[in-house]
Each structure stands twice: as structure tokens, then as C-alpha cells.
Structure 1
């Protein structure tokens, strides 16, 4: 066989392993269990870090204030140096709607070594601890919750004995670029951190989705959260690792009724979302970057290239192996497209989306070495250390 055919066979072998040996990452049935009332409803404090979120707050904050929770719950919104009136708008929304009690506070500029979000979370947790909550719900300012969201999260934690329960919010999919890029973002995340492994006792895989994290307050204190992860750009994964290192049990799944309302209408918006933290995910390691680019090329780009080049050269084995790998790839992507209610004809386009992610990752490294990495809302964190992998 030709070199092209052998390369396509290698890609097919990689896809067969991903299909069967990577925790069935492609399945989308890891969801919160049906609601089963616990024996008691513990006190919960909701902490919302917010920086210049006036555009999305009217769609997200009212959903938190309207939570139908049988126990005591209240909301702490921490205005992280906003310049668009985020804090004032939050107070006005609470006055208009009522519902759960709302406290709006501001911690001032973050100290050296802290990311802005975690500095705000620290302040919110400190305020919350004066109420002696049993659980903390850490949720982003662009996340809208169904009325029973908090109830279901707490029930899952109580009944399942979990210290951390997190849901991957359903991101907005409206524009053409969002349809092409957003489902793949969650698909790639699940491929890196298979949800089934995360919830398995004794498994080392740990991750959370920062938009919706219910955390036992005592566990947070023992794990020194957020102080222990104050420098982490990818704070949700760092949080899950800190909890798991301390012996805590964690669960992560796809959301029903937890939705991001933040729009990413242009490719530029999605590019910034991915590239600001992609190189941090690789621990700013050039060797890992090279390996990642090579791996993405082999797994995602070789199949269509083998089909096209093999057809041009009348190389039957290359076409057959490339087509088989491409078919498995598309098949594993189809469940995520169904979850996002997108047409299945997008599945064969995954190699093009993977190429975009490859370029975003390279751009993330370039921006890091230019001193502009992890830039977000006027702050840059490219020189902060990242939390290392376990082991």
C-alpha cells in the first residue's frame, strides 16, 4: 500500500479507538437524573461574577431570581469593575421582579496573581459564607436557568453524594458560524474529558463547566477554592481537579434548562472565545502544541485528504480507509448535532471545523508569545501560571 493509504489506515485506527475506548465521549445521554426530592433542602448561595454584562443580564439574572427552590437561597452578584452599569442594572432587575434576595457587591481590582473572575468569585464566596450555606452555585452572568434548575442540581448532589455537580450549558446556536463551530466546541471538550469517566469513582479525569457549578461549601473550604486556583485561566477544569484531589466526588453532564444567552454571531467572536485559552489548555508548552497540531491533522484532516488525493491517484485503499474514518467521525458527531437541534448534514463538515480549531490553537500560542494571550474584557493573563495536570 502507498504511504497515503497507510496514513489513512492510521487515522481509521485512531477513530476506532476513539469510538470504543475514550469513555463513549460521543454519547449525549449523561444528564441530570429525574428529580427525586431529598429528605431536606439545604441552604444555597448563588455567586455570579459579572464584568460588563449589561447586554445579557436582563435575560439571565431574572431566571436566577425566579428559582423555585423549596429551601433558603439567595444570590450574590459580584460586579467586577464593570463600566456599563452592570451592578446598577442588577439592582433594578431585582427591584422590578423580586424573587430570591439579591446582594450586589464589588471587590475592586484583583490582586497580583489572580484572574478577575476568580477574584470576584472569592469575594462572592466570602460574602456567602456569612450565611453559612451548605452549597454554593457558581454560575456565569450569561447563563439563564430554568425555574427548577437549582432544585434539580441540589437533588442530584444530595441523592448522589456528589461534592460538585456541573452542567455544560447549552450554548447559543443561531448564526451560521455558531452552527458550524459551537456544537464542535462541546464535542471536542467531551472528547478531552469524557463525562462518564469524570463521574466514575477512582477515575483521574476531572473537569467542570464553569457556567454552572454546584459546589458543597465544606468541600470548597477544604480544597482552598478559589485561593488554590487563583491563577487558573481555565478555572472550571482547575476547580474540578482541586475538588477531586481532595477526595471529592464530581459529576459533569449536558444541560437541559441551563442555557448561555451570549451571542457569538461572527467567526471573529468565536475565534476569540477559543483562542484566548487554547494555549493555556496546553500549559503553554510548545511540544504539546506541536503534538496537538499533528494529532488534529491525523485524526480530522487526513480522512478527507485521503479520499480526495486517493481518488485523484486511483489509490483504492487510501480512498476506502479515508472514507471509513470520515464516516466514523461523522457518526460520532451526529449525537451532538441532534442535542443542538442541528441538521445532520453538518456532520461531514467536522474536518473543516477542526481545521478552524487547529488555527485558533496556533493563534492562541502566537498571541501568548506576543504577550496578548488569554485577553478578555480588557485584561490579559498570558503571564499567569496555569494549574498543571495531575501526575
Structure 2
């Protein structure tokens, strides 16, 4: 073996040890965040806040009934309005919502520069001067009876302007089980929760528009959904807008408050992730590709080396995934053992998302998202 070859192997071992050290640190951080994640009360006090729930819905006839039934069963909220914004549905979404007594608002088509969901949410929140708290709920989310009261209590008890209770993500098919848990694993691993809650830095933000609770006055100071009109990740963008306006907000445990199954097969899952992954990981196509490369180096490469250090890196990744799943109501075993494969699939979706963004071929709910 030549000196040059030994030198290269030595450098490779050092790089691998560095990657494994990061893996271990991230797993420890996920465990710390699990302890710090704010948890809603199981029996929250009743709230006197006037609450409007906005449900943006486009072709949700198969979901809207269950969503509205859960909203009708809410307890501890004396003043509760429910507004369904019918975002150009071609099915019976609006009729089914009216049958359940909800106020249905037909959304005006998105104007130039607006995407569909921010447009629908903005119209649902309009004219809410008599409301204290706005709650945004997707039609495929099922709330527990105490969910709204518990979320509002978290908002007020910790002097926050926005809370994002992360729903329990139901995953059934292999593709779902590989990819869905990575959503919460990413913020649990990378985001310092207490610092994010206190910091005005917009970059320290994680949120989920499936269930979002915001003080109405803070929402208006931030510019509402008009401030994020062209954002494909309008939930994170809204939290960042709240922070820029001087507010405070953070992701919280929503596993006992809400549950949802986002996608039921691989084509739906791929389309759902590809529409936004180009911006989700690094804020831009280039940033997302760099983040995907880093995830590959940290969580896919080490176990492929077949070394003892690589095994430690693999186990650290599995530990971080397992800790997060247990804390957020996900399936722990055996799914966590497939963590490197899940990361590899996510990275593939990132590449496809960036390519779709470049080509202008990304579509969602029948609308082209543009370049």
C-alpha cells in the first residue's frame, strides 16, 4: 500500500468519524427537543376567546364531513365560528358543508401572484374584527374534542402569537411509513425549540398548515396570508411573517389533538412532496439540493461503509428517528430501522421537485405552480 493510498484512507476515516459525531449530536438534540416540546393539556380550561376556524377546501367531498363533525364536537370554546372556504371545488364539497351547518364562502379565484391556499385562507380570515383567535384546519384533519381549547390555552399560557400543533401523521403504505415521519424528524433534529420560540429570527421557524392557531391581531400585524400570497409553504412563511412583525410562535405537540393521513399511495405522496420540497429544506432550489446532499452524507453514507463507525452513525440516526416518532405519536418499530432508506427516498423527491420547479411542471390540485 502506498503512502498516498494510506493517506486517502486516513482522510476518509476522519471524514466518516466527523459525520458520525454529527449524527450522534443530532440524535441527542432530538431527545432534548422531545423533552422541551410544549404539550397541550389533556383537560384544558374553557376559553372566552372568540375563535374562527377557517377550513380551506378544494374538492374535499370525501373529507369535509369528517372534518366538520369533529369541529362540531369541540368543547370548551363558547364562541366558535366555522367557515369553509370553497376553493373552486368541482364536487359536492360546498353542499356537504352546508348540510352540516357550516358557513360556506365561495372563494374568488386567485389573483396574479397568489397561490390557491393562501388565497382561500385570506378570504376565510377577512372581516374577522370580532374574532380573537384564528384557527386554520385542513379538511383531511380530524380534531379531538378538546383540540381547539387546548391549542388556544397553549397560545395564551405561554404568551405566544402563533402555535402550530403538529398532527399525528397516519402512515399505512410502505412509502408513507418511509417518508411521512421525516417531516417532524427534521424539525425535531435541527430546530432548537426554545431558541426558536424566543428568537425573532425568521429562519428559526417550523409550522404545519394542517392545524395552525394564531392570535388575530398578530395575524393582521404580520399582513395575514397576503404577506405570504405566493409561498408554496405558506405555513412556515406565515410564522416568519409573524416573527418579523415582532411576534412569537413555535411548533408544539399536536399528536393528542389532531390526526391526519395526508397521502394514500405513492403517486399522491410524490406529487405532494414534489410541489414544495424545492423550497422546504434550504429555502431555494440550490439550498434544498445542498441540504439533500448533507442528509445523504450524514444518514445514507455511514451505514454503506460497513465499518464500526458507520454502524454507530446508523444507530444514531435510528435513535433520533425513534425518539421523535415516540414523542410525536408515530410508529417507532420497525420503521425507524429503515431510516437511511427513508432519507434516500426523500432526497430523490427533492431532486424531482427541483427539476419540476426548473421546468415549470409542478402542479397541485389541478393548478400549475409555475417557476
Contact 2:31 2:324 in 1 (8 A): no
Matched residue, 1:314 = none
Alpha-carbon distance, 1:197 to partner: 3.3
Q: 1:30 aligns with which of 35, 38, 44?
A: 38
Q: Which residue of 1 aligns with 2:174?
A: 176
- Indicate the SS of the match to 2:181: helix
C-alpha spacing 1:382/1:28, structure 2 compared with 1 (3 Å) = farther
Q: 2:51 aligns with which of 34, 44, 52?
A: 44
User: Secondary structure at 1:76's aligned position in 2?
Assistant: strand
Aligned to 2:250: 251
Q: 1:45 is paired with a residue of what secondary structure?
A: strand
- Matches of residues 313-324 of structure 1 in structure 2 within 5 Å? 319-324=307-312
1:193 aligns with: 191
* Shift in alpha-carbon separation, 1:13–1:343, aligned structure 2, 3 A: closer
Of 42, 62, 67, the match for 1:60 = 67
1:17 matches 2:25:
yes
Question: Match for residue 333 of structure 2?
Answer: 344
Q: Which residue of 2 aligns with 1:163?
A: 161
> 1:252-279 CA deviation, whole Å, 9 max, x = no partner?
1121333344452322222222111000
* Conservation of the 8 A alpha-carbon contact between 1:27 and 1:335: no
Distance 1:263 1:43, change over 3 A: closer
Tell whether 2:357 aligns with 1:368.
Answer: yes
Is the Cα–Cα contact under 8 Å of residues 4 and 306 in structure 1 kept in the other structure?
A: no
Q: Does 1:325 align with 2:313?
A: yes
Unaligned runs of 5+ in 1: 95-101, 308-318, 384-391
Distance 2:330 2:360 in 1: 39
Label 1:206 to 1:137 Cα distance change in 2 as closer, same or farther (>3 A): same
- Please tell me whether residue 7 in structure 1 is matched to residue 15 in structure 2: yes
User: What TM-score results when the alignment is normalised by the length of structure 1?
Assistant: 0.85
Could you list the per-position Cα deviations for residues 71-114 of structure 1 after superposition, in whole angstroms to 9, with x for gaps in the alignment? Answer: 211101100000011111111133xxxxxxx2101122110111
For the 8 Å contact 1:198–1:252, the answer to whether it is kept is no
Look up the match of 2:92: 85
Unaligned runs of 5+ in 2: 1-8
Higher mean alpha-carbon deviation, 292-301 vs 1-10, is at 1-10
Partner residue of 1:104?
A: 104
Structure 1 residues 6 and 337 mapped into 2: Cα distance closer, same or farther (>3 Å)? same
Deviation string 1:176-205 (CA, Å, 9 cap, x unpaired) is: 322222222321243343434332355651
Q: Shift in Å at residue 11 of structure 1? A: 1.4
Q: Which residue of 2 aligns with 1:226?
A: 225
CA contact (8 A) 2:54 2:136 kept: yes
Count residues with an aligned counterpart. 360
Distance in 2, matches of 1:327 and 1:16, equals 9
Against the structure 1 CA distance between its residues 195 and 32, is the aligned structure 2 distance closer, same or farther, given a 3 Å change threshold?
farther
